[in-house]
Amino acid sequence: MASGEAQFRAIRPKDLRVGMYVHLPLAWYEHPFLKSHFLITSDNQIRKILECGVKEVRVDPAQSCIRSSNSPPGPAPKAPKPPALRTEDLMEAIQDKTLPVEKKAQAVHLHSLNMMRDLMANPTVENIQQAKEGISKVVDLILNDNATNYHLLRITSHDFNTYIHSVNVGVLSVSLAKLLFKGSDAHDMHALGGGFFLHDLGKVRINLSIINKPAKLSDEEMQEMKRHPDYGYQLLKETHQLNKECQMIILQHHERENGAGYPRGLKGDDIHIYGRICSIADVFEALTSVRPYKKAMKPFDALRVMRDEMITHFHRELFEKFVLLFA
């Protein structure tokens, strides 16, 4: 073995764990990741590695965040510090002109997920500002690169987690706003993008036992869940990151056209168009995502349910425009 590879340990993919730094024995086009070596941050990544069909991968213990099984015992690890938000990989993926368009969309989606995951874990002033900068670059990509936008809309990784949901709703909402407002200078698309991606930020103040409950919420739990728009508004206000676009989106993305929504029970034209846009994207993404208590719907089945069973919840013309994103 070459001296440069002495630190690597070969293991079977089924023995991989979150926190390992893995090197895949595959060319870039033979796997769904941006790079062939990376830190595993989710069980979903392990599942995708297993689906690649390789018999063995290499793990670099020096870059891993967990101790390997044959490492000598040591003192108990300290509680990890909340992750600092990094957007370098996202920026690199956006700027890389050599990536095939579908691969670029996958990379931007993956790194957006990582950014939002770290923000949800540590929503400091600095991290919110950093996230807004990253979101602004994603908005530019959606506005100016129709091919990558097309593939972003069709990424079918719909495992449920608040940060995954936030990215998916952000992409859907910005894409609809692009369709509605193209050629207009009356709307700040970057500010809108910040609001759309951060629409559920208030859930960081909801107990995880409620967020992750695999059954129907009790009345008391549901009342707490319905406070997350107000929590998000308060959090951005406390960190001086609140603009009018974020305010409208965060407070109104659960309002419904027929007055059946929350937290204010607004109706019709009392709901701002930005809140209306986000509410459509939010419901569609929820229907097409796996939840502990339901399977994911196919996109066209979700659109049909929204049209046939839920249309009174939405502004009809905006919903018809939303459908055009999938035409």
Q: What is the CATH number of the domain that holds 164?
A: 1.10.3210.10
In terms of domains, do 246 and 195 share one? yes
Same domain, 222 and 138: yes
Does residue 141 share a domain with residue 16?
Answer: no
Q: Is residue 73 part of a domain?
A: no
Answer yes or no: is 74 within a domain.
no
pLDDT tens readout for residues 284-327: 999 998 776 778 899 999 999 999 999 999 999 999 999 999 98
Q: Which tokens go with 14?
A: 């089924």
E strand map for 7-61: 9-11, 21-23, 37-39, 57-59
The tokens describing 211, both together, are 């967020």
User: What percentage of the chain carries pLDDT values higher than 70?
Assistant: 89
- How many whole angstroms from its chain centre is CA 76? 33
Structural domain that includes position 23: 3-63
Of the residues 25, 48, 63, which one is the last residue of a structural domain?
A: 63
> What's the pLDDT at 29?
66
What amino acid is encoded at 15 in this protein?
A: D
Residue 112 in any domain: the answer is yes
pLDDT at 43: 81
Contact assessment for residue 90 and residue 111, using Cβ atoms and an 8 Å cutoff: yes
Instruction: Indicate if the pLDDT at residue 71 is higher than 50.
Output: no
Check whether residue 105 and residue 155 sit in a common domain. Answer: yes
Residue 279 and residue 213 share a domain: yes
* Number of separate domains in the chain: 2
Shared-domain flag, residues 201 and 255: yes
| Domain end position, chosen among 30, 47, 63 | 63
Q: Does one domain contain both 134 and 33?
A: no
Residues 7 and 143 in one domain: no
Model confidence at 160, pLDDT cuts 50, 70, 90, reads low
Is residue 146 one of the residues assigned to a domain?
yes
How sure is the predictor about 30, in pLDDT bands with cuts at 50, 70 and 90?
Answer: confident
77 domain residue, yes or no? no
- Please report which residue ranges of 204-327 form alpha helices under DSSP H: 208-211, 219-225, 228-238, 244-252, 273-287, 299-309, 316-324
Q: Are residue 53 and residue 107 in the same domain, yes or no?
A: no
Looking at the fold, whether 187 and 260 belong to one and the same domain comes out as: yes
| Closest to 163 (Cα-Cα) out of 237, 217, 83, 102 | 83
Radius of gyration of the chain (CA): 21
Q: Is residue 200 part of a domain?
A: yes
pTM of the prediction? 0.76
**What are the pLDDT digits (tens) for 127-139?**
999 999 999 999 9
* Domain match, 25 and 95 both: no
| Token couple for 231 | 């929590």
Show Cβ contacts of residue 28 under 8 Å, excluding neighbours closer than 6 positions: 35, 36, 103
109's tokens: 């989606």
Instruction: Write down how long the chain is.
Output: 327
Both 210 and 320 in a single domain?
Answer: yes
In a domain? residue 298: yes
Confirm whether 69 is domain-assigned. Answer: no
